[in-house]
């Protein structure tokens, strides 16, 4: 494969630079004072309880048909302002409800005077099961037309307990150094991906396979570059539509839809790349898949609302390798069949 060693070296350098810059450069800096006060309003029922103390919030629900919540109205800030909402959160025995939002959640909602804008990014964290203390942070932009802002903690039509400590809300702005690092890093990864795919396109001149490879690559890049809020909205909408169809769909969806996307997109890529690189060793094909899987995950460090996950990397790599193995097995079977046919003819 052309430039194989160059690709590997560039990946190592880019990965090291991406991880180092993201770890050392501060993304946001506080530009204003704390916006939260100690005045909370709550909604509960006979089978639920809500406590607000000087140290935090505690919500418990034993009724999956009601919403147990506590909220606080926030003083209005100028449109375009960026708000940081963070908190330490812990949940106990929170059951997964029928809808994607039937969980224990911390939210920042914007209301335009007529309705809450749930189509906008709003979720800081959405928890199920039992999870120990962890700090969560959400960054939100106040849009024009917003007339009311609320911070909401809720156990939404499910059963379980939610604890929140050290909740903070204040205006922030992105640092210039981080913005510069993001632009340079994403540009560098874009150049790397184009070089990687360009090298693959040079191996075989079959136009159909080239088009399929470009399609598979675009499919992966679209999934990688979607902002976190858009990705979550699309996933939630698909789940809602599937759940609305029939009961069997609820049982059939065992995986997170984003994980299915990861596996299928790389499975398609693995199929096509193996068909194109027939004269290249399986080791090099595997490395190409790993480089693309690793690069797309690392690039998400600089994509809003996205987080690179080791599990996603392994799912990507497994999908690509599965596609590669399928083509390899099909080729072996075809070769064996041809050999048997030749022997029979003799």
pLDDT, tens digit (0-9, with 9 covering 90-100), for 20-48: 999 999 999 999 999 999 899 988 888 89
- Average pLDDT value for residue range 248-265: 65
Predicted confidence (pLDDT) at residue 305 exceeds the cutoff of 80: no
Tell me the per-residue pLDDT of 99-125, one tens digit each, with 9 for 90 and over: 888 999 999 999 999 999 887 889 999
**284 or 230, which is more confident?**
284
**Strands 104-111 and 82-94: what pairing?**
unpaired
Q: What is the structure's pLDDT at 276?
A: 85
Q: What is the structure's pLDDT at 254?
A: 45
On the CB side of 167, CA atoms within 13 Å amount to 28
pTM over 0.85: no
Predicted confidence (pLDDT) at residue 55 exceeds the cutoff of 70: yes
Q: What is the structure's pLDDT at 250?
A: 47
What is the rounded distance in angstroms from the CA atom of residue 321 to the CA atom of residue 314?
10
Residue 241 banded pLDDT, cuts 50, 70, 90: low
What is the rounded distance in angstroms from the CA atom of residue 112 to the CA atom of residue 144?
9
Predicted confidence (pLDDT) at residue 346 exceeds the cutoff of 80: no
Q: Please give the DSSP secondary-structure letter assigned to residue 151.
A: E
The whole-chain average pLDDT of the chain stands at 87
- Average pLDDT value for residue range 204-209: 79
Q: Which percentage of the chain shows pLDDT scores above 70?
A: 87
What is the rounded distance in angstroms from the CA atom of residue 316 to the CA atom of residue 5?
22
Tell me the per-residue pLDDT of 118-152, one tens digit each, with 9 for 90 and over: 878 899 999 999 999 999 999 999 999 999 999 99
Distances, alpha carbon 228 to alpha carbons 175, 233, 258, in Å = 20, 9, 11
Q: Which percentage of the chain shows pLDDT scores above 90?
A: 62
Predicted confidence (pLDDT) at residue 249 exceeds the cutoff of 60: no
**334 or 164, which is more confident?**
164
Quote the CATH superfamily of domain 28-174: Galactose-binding domain-like (2.60.120.260)
**For the chain, which residues make up each domain, given as ranges?**
4-25+176-345, 28-174
Residue 252 banded pLDDT, cuts 50, 70, 90: very low
On the CB side of 281, CA atoms within 13 Å amount to 4
């Amino acid at each position: 494969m052309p430039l194989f060693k160059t690709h590997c070296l560039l990946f190592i350098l880019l990965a090291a630079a991406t991880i180092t810059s993201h770890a050392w450069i501060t993304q946001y800096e506080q530009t204003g004072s704390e916006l939260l006060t100690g005045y909370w309003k709550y909604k509960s029922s006979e089978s639920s309880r809500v406590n607000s103390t000087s140290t935090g919030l505690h919500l418990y629900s034993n009724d999956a048909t009601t919403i147990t919540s506590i909220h606080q109205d926030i003083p209005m800030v100028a449109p375009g302002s960026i708000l940081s909402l963070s908190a330490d959160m812990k949940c106990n025995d929170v059951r997964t409800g029928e809808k994607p939002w039937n969980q224990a959640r911390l939210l920042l909602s914007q209301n335009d005077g007529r309705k809450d804008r749930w189509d906008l990014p709003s979720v800081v964290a959405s928890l199920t099961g039992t999870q120990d203390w962890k700090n969560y942070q959400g960054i939100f932009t106040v849009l024009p037309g917003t007339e009311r802002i609320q911070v909401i903690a809720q156990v939404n039509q499910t059963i379980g307990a939610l604890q929140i400590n050290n909740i903070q809300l204040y205006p922030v702005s992105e640092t210039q150094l981080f913005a510069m690092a993001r632009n340079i890093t994403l540009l560098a990864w874009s150049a790397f991906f184009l070089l990687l795919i360009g090298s693959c396109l040079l191996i075989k001149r079959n136009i159909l396979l080239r088009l399929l490879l470009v399609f598979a690559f675009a499919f992966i890049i679209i999934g990688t570059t979607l902002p976190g809020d858009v990705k979550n909205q699309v996933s939630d909408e698909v789940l809602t539509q599937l759940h609305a169809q029939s009961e069997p769909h609820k049982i059939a969806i065992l995986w997170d839809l984003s994980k299915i996307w990861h596996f299928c997109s790389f499975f398609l890529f693995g199929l096509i790349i193996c068909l194109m690189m027939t004269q290249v060793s399986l080791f090099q094909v595997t490395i190409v898949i790993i480089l693309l899987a690793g690069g797309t995950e690392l690039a998400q460090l600089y994509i809003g609302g996205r987080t690179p996950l080791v599990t996603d990397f392994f799912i990507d790599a497994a999908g690509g390798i599965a596609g590669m193995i399928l083509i390899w097995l099909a080729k072996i079977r075809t070769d064996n069949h041809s050999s048997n046919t030749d022997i029979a003819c003799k």
